Amino acid sequence: AQSVTQLGSHVSVSEGALVLLRCNYSSSVPPYLFWYVQYPNQGLQLLLKYTSAATLVKGINGFEAEFKKSETSFHLTKPSAHMSDAAEYFCAVSDYGGATNKLIFGTGTLLAVQP
Amino acid sequence: DTAVSQTPKYLVTQMGNDKSIKCEQNLGHDTMYWYKQDSKKFLKIMFSYNNKELIINETVPNRFSPKSPDKAHLNLHINSLELGDSAVYFCASSQGGLSPGYTFGSGTRLTVV
């Protein structure tokens, strides 16, 4: 079975500071990993995805994530936070191409950006 | 054109009623899903259909019945609504090929009173 764990349900940073949102995964097959962002009262927007190509993945809005198999991690980072980054962030894992293709989400991390 | 569209966006109804949520995708994807997001923002898969065939049913109560008339549509019908059904329901679809992708609709906020 696959799962993801997001460490820290709430993260607060100052504007201009580094953003680091943590995600660890568990998977018995090579995983596909995703980060989604959800702004208040909106749907889910894909930030980036790992599909077994490059381990450092660049996404939209200046975000990037690094796949580390030895640590079973896929942490999301951004060098400098903007006020507009305040949102809920979800890490997700998929067995894409496997039996179910389903996307399994972590519990989310709410990012607050202080002026 | 919206890739994955859901209707209605908001739904307020009384306990015991029956309601439906519709979903359509124009991406040509073979697989469609329903997810439920509860009040704590937790997202859990409910159903998945591949080419009109049910492939995932995640221990959802029988009051929930998905229907897929064709691979571009996946509707969700809910009988005898309960207070605990209040949530945001997201429809999604996924593409085939080498690079996985999941596209989500904007959600339907269901409030049962």
Longest dimension (CA), chain A: 46
Q: Is B104 within 8 Å of A44 when comparing Cβ atoms?
A: yes
Q: Please tell me the distance from the alpha carbon of residue A46 to that of residue A80, in angstroms, as a whole number.
A: 19
Å between B42 CA and nearest CA of chain A: 5
* Mean pLDDT, rounded, of chain A: 92
Cross-chain Cβ contact B100/A42 below 8 Å:
no
CA distances from A57 to A35, A63, A77, B93 (A): 11, 9, 10, 23
Tell which residue, A76, A69, A8, A66, has the closest CA to residue A36. A76
Contact at CB, B43 and A105, closer than 8 angstroms? yes
pLDDT, tens digit (0-9, with 9 covering 90-100), for A36-56: 999 988 889 999 999 887 899
Q: What residues have CB less than 8 Å from B36, skipping those under 6 apart?
A: B43, B44, B46, B87, B88, B89, B90
Q: What is the pLDDT of residues B17-71, one digit of tens each?
A: 999 999 999 999 888 999 999 999 999 999 988 888 888 888 789 999 999 999 8
**Could you say which residues of chain A have pLDDT below 70?**
96-100
